[in-house]
Amino acid sequence: MEGRLANSWRLTVNDKNFIKTALLSEIRIDGRKPFEYRKISIKFGREDGSSEVQLGQTRVMGMVTAQLVQPYRDRPKEGILSIFTEFSPMADPSFEPGRPGELAVELGRIIDRGLRESRAVDTESLCILASKFVWAIRIDLHILDNGGNLVDAANIAALAALLTFRRPECSLGGEDGQEVIVHPPEIREPLPLTVHHLPIAISFGFFSNESILVIDPTHNEEAVMGGRMTTTVNANGDICAIQKSGGEGVPQRVIMQCLQLATSKAASITKQIKDAVEVVNTERALRKVKRHPTSTGVDVREKQN
């Protein structure tokens, strides 16, 4: 069923011209201004490390799991971070199940570079026993609905899931201290991951006439735009990654403008993620306090160690 007519979706020429002409007067088809982001809503599931992010009509679900494995030979003291992106066929009729296509691989790589190479997640704290046991963190990103700008939404989902994930605590034991004992969550509180900073991906779309620039394109705009650029920045103003693969050429001043815009947007998005995570963490802490019915007279405001 590859390449069936029913699976491919194309915008009509009239629609395309309408979008382009509207942009000349700085009007976008969903009513936003060129540098306005869509509404972001971050929700969390019951388990630690599961998040669902909605960016306008785009919907992405993130899931973080951990496993004890042997580390890579050339990095015996570091944990492993791997990102798997699933372009689910439910997101878009043109997504086929099976092997990830170009877009899926590119999205995975952009998020991977943002998290791993900028050292956002501390992999050295994931090492339990050098050269033998380290934690391998696996991030699964499921794209549920394609409303445009999947990279940004998937990045936020990955960050939200990482911040709420808790890995089991483990200690060394055995005769020679070479065995690793993993403590179940009922015995010892699981630990959060060490995340130094939050790299936020911000995507821009370039249009051919008069070098028009928009932030956070919808999938209609993506079908019309001539080039795209994704910049991954954090709230401190550091550039973690820039991805501009092909498409139209843009002058240097436009790139600088994009970077400045991205830094200001990143600050507000970082705050939004941190607030949402804070709410969930307090909720979970309260739930854990209620988990022990035998302890009488527990003041909910007190922290339980």
Partner 1 sequence: MEVDREDGRSQNQLRPLACSRNILHRAHGSASWSQGDTKVLAAVYGPKAGTKKNENPEKACIEVIWKPKTGQIGKPEKEYEMILKRTLESVCILTVNPNTTTSIIVQVVNDDGALLPSAINAACMALVDAGIPMKHLAVAICCCVAKSGYVILDPTKLEEQQKMKAFAYLVFPNSVHSVLPEGSLRVEGEPIENGIITSVTHGIMSVDDYFYCLERGRAASVKLSDFLRRNLQQQSTDSSKAG
> Interacting stretch for partner 1, rule CB under 8 A, among 47-55, 100-108, 178-186, 193-201?
47-55
**Axis-axis angle for helices 252-290, 150-164 (nearest 10):** 30
Cβ distance 241 to 199 under 8 Å? yes
Between 93 and 237, name the residue whose CB sits nearer to partner 1. Answer: 93
Between 36 and 47, name the residue whose CB sits nearer to partner 1. Answer: 47
By DSSP bridging, strand 212-215 and strand 200-207 are antiparallel
H runs (alpha helix) in 125-210: 150-164
Q: For the CB of residue 153, give the shortest distance to partner 1 in the complex, in Å.
A: 13
Between 163 and 262, name the residue whose CB sits nearer to partner 1. Answer: 163
Contacts of partner 1 in 220-259 (CB under 8 A) = none
Q: For the CB of residue 147, give the shortest distance to partner 1 in the complex, in Å.
A: 6
Size of the site for partner 1 (CB under 8 A): 30
Cβ distance 182 to 69 under 8 Å? no
65 binding partner 1? (CB under 8 A)? yes
Contacts of partner 1 in 124-183 (CB under 8 A) = 138, 140, 142, 144-147
> Interacting stretch for partner 1, rule CB under 8 A, among 29-37, 39-47, 188-196, 235-243?
39-47
Written as six digits, the tokens of 210 are 């008069």
60 binding partner 1? (CB under 8 A)? no
Provide CB contacts within 8 A for 19, sequence distance 6+: 29, 220, 221, 224
Cβ distance 265 to 230 under 8 Å? no
Rule CB under 8 A: choose which of 91, 129, 269, 280 binds partner 1.
91
Rule CB under 8 A: choose which of 3, 31, 97, 251 binds partner 1.
97
Q: How many residues does the chain have?
A: 305
Question: What are the CA-CA distances from residue 186 to residues 33, 51, 66, 179, 194 (Å)?
Answer: 50, 23, 17, 21, 22
50 binding partner 1? (CB under 8 A)? yes
Bin 20: left if φ > 0, else alpha if -120 < ψ < 50, else beta.
Answer: alpha
Rule CB under 8 A: choose which of 30, 57, 244, 267 binds partner 1.
57
Residues that bind partner 1 (CB under 8 A): 1, 4-7, 45-47, 50, 52, 57, 59, 61, 63, 65, 86, 88-93, 97, 138, 140, 142, 144-147
